[in-house]
Structure 1
Amino acid sequence: MKPLIEATALKQLDPYSFTLIDARGFGNSRERYEQGHIEGALYVDLEDLASHTDNAAVGGRHPLPDVDRFANLLGKLGITPDTHVIVYDDKVAANPAARFWWMLRSVGHEKVQVLNGGLQVAQDAGLNITTDISAPSEATQYQVKHGFSGTAEIEEVKAAAKDSSRMVIDVRETPRYLGQTEPLDLIAGHIPGAVNVPYNTNMGEGNRYLSPEQLKANYGKVFGDVKPEQVIVHCGSGVTACHTLLALEQAGLTGAKLYVGSWSEWSRRDLPIATENGIIAPENK
């Protein structure tokens, strides 16, 4: 099952054959959901997809929740391991939709897709938009076989950034990577050795992902001789990076890992930081 589904294909599905998730994320997203969402969609907030933390230096701003807590959320949504889940947001999957997709895949859930182009494309395709709040099907107990897989911890990232056979990709906007600005974290810059491939380069016309062929060609140039399974992807807090992990999966380039702590963790650990002007290197780091 490809990770992306088109609005035209979604429109043709039996509405009882899948569970639709509106994952618009944070801020006033619940209010936006209540003002209009795709008919049948259940709401999931970014706060449901991360654990609460007072110390972003350990796990970043959006660390993964306990896997049992995530399983409990899935059960409340009526999702079973056999459920076909389709998820969307209003940020072309750059926020919680891709994170939710990645988390499900990480615990072994196979049948999950993201709506290509999100809410706007759904509206353009004529899917029903409603203010009616849907109730999930009967709650169930979702059995997870293992914890979140496909993650990289900070020590592995340190080693990978220095290894020519591996690659660390920073998907943030280039000014943040270069250290010119930092709107969310304490210090601007990037992990020394990381390459910058902004997540929005995954997008083509109409706020849809590029074709699998184009994505494969683009990332083939970035990877060179590095194998996909030797790639680690990060962003600011481990959410937007999932957009690129989805793009890689769509391109058939499987096996890349997510550095969940991302820049929000690295920049708080007194580690070397690179900018366009060079490297700030604390002693003995």
Structure 2
Amino acid sequence: MPFETLISAPELDALRREPGALCIVDCRFDLANPEAGATLWRESHLPNAVYAHLDNDLSSPIVPGETGRHPLPDPDALIAWLRSQGVSDDTQIVAYDDCNGGMAARLWWLSRWMGHAACAVLDGGMQAWEARYPLTDRKPTPKPGGNLSRQSSLLACLSTADVVESEDLILVDARTLARFRGDEEPIDPVAGHIPGAICLPLIDNTGENGHFRSQTQLRQRYTDALAPYADKTPVMYCGSGVTAAHNVLAMCHAGMPAPALYADSWSGWITDPHRPLA
């Protein structure tokens, strides 16, 4: 059975020793220093892990005044990049980072967007692996190009127009409560949130040890939060559509229907100064 939401460090260690196609992807990234993740990967990483750069590999170029900070990648370019890493239709992808899955969830979401379900986030991230197993600075062994094909998307993705025009949505903000309230805004030029949204910070999907909370706890969290909006479709958003995928992952891991993602998120919403703010 493929891993489709989370995978533990022991499960990954066992998996990499078995026959079968496996692609481990280091997704570490620092918004304040975009090249820091690649530098860290060169210094040490999981054995045979390749590196995915959020800006270059997992996003498309920003269109000023139109898109958010991390527009979704061109599907053909994404497929081509995955193939270049040896990914085929039967490949198990495992994404990891060092920030509780906040960046790795982007690759997980994109994989499912391409219709490839066999992608999981390493629970506890690089720290969980390093606590049990060695890291390496050796470059991964090059793999032959894969033959991954694009299938029907397994997730819903909404545009700004979708969000503006629909009255049947409940927007869920994955940012911190302070950013949601507009008390602080360290990244985007405008503070606040989209009117009508509620706040469920992604950090609360995990415990103090950096591991995701149990499926029961996650199911209770989202069931309770969304109960007052039972007649609406939940849509996750964040600052730029990256970490909101963490909330999508949490709900899927809890066995709940996958919520939609507003890809442009807050940074896309505020490109039009005429849109309402709260």
Give the alignment partner of residue 172 of structure 2, picking from 153, 169, 173.
169
| 1:58-108 per-position Cα deviation (integer Å, ceiling 9, x unaligned) | 23110011100000001100000110111101111112x100000001111
Partners of 1:12 and 1:185 in 2: how far apart? 42
Partner of 1:24: 28
Shift of 1:28: 1.1
Partners of 1:233 and 1:219 in 2: how far apart? 12
Partners of 1:228 and 1:115 in 2: how far apart? 34
| 2:52 equivalent to 1:52 | no
Normalised by the size of structure 2, how large is the TM-score? 0.91
Give the alignment partner of residue 264 of structure 1, picking from 246, 263, 267.
267
Partners of 2:24 and 2:185 in 1: how far apart? 34
Partner of 1:83: 91
Partners of 1:70 and 1:178 in 2: how far apart? 35
CA contact (8 A) 2:155 2:258 kept: no
Normalised by the size of structure 1, how large is the TM-score? 0.89
Partner of 1:6: 8
Partners of 1:19 and 1:209 in 2: how far apart? 22
| 2:131 equivalent to 1:131 | no
Shift of 1:212: 0.6
Residue 147 and residue 244 in structure 1: after superposition, are their counterparts in 2 closer, same or farther (change >3 A)? closer
| Structure 2 residues without counterparts, runs of 5 or longer | none
Shift of 1:135: 2.9
| 1:83-142 per-position Cα deviation (integer Å, ceiling 9, x unaligned) | 0111101111112x1000000011110111110010011101x22200001033101342
Partners of 1:252 and 1:44 in 2: how far apart? 28
Residue 213 and residue 140 in structure 1: after superposition, are their counterparts in 2 closer, same or farther (change >3 A)? same
Residue 219 and residue 148 in structure 1: after superposition, are their counterparts in 2 closer, same or farther (change >3 A)? closer
Matches within 5 A, 1:30-109: 30-47=38-55, 48-55=57-64, 57-95=65-103, 97-109=104-116
> Is 67-76 or 131-140 further displaced after alignment?
131-140
| Structure 1 residues without counterparts, runs of 5 or longer | 275-285
Partners of 1:115 and 1:201 in 2: how far apart? 17
Give the alignment partner of residue 239 of structure 2, picking from 219, 236, 241.
236
Shift of 1:11: 1.8
Shift of 1:159: 4.3
Give the alignment partner of residue 157 of structure 2, picking from 151, 157, 169.
151
Partner of 1:254: 257
SS of the counterpart of 1:19?
A: strand
Matches within 5 A, 1:161-200: 162-163=167-168, 166-200=169-203
Residue 205 and residue 212 in structure 1: after superposition, are their counterparts in 2 closer, same or farther (change >3 A)? same
Residue 44 and residue 256 in structure 1: after superposition, are their counterparts in 2 closer, same or farther (change >3 A)? same
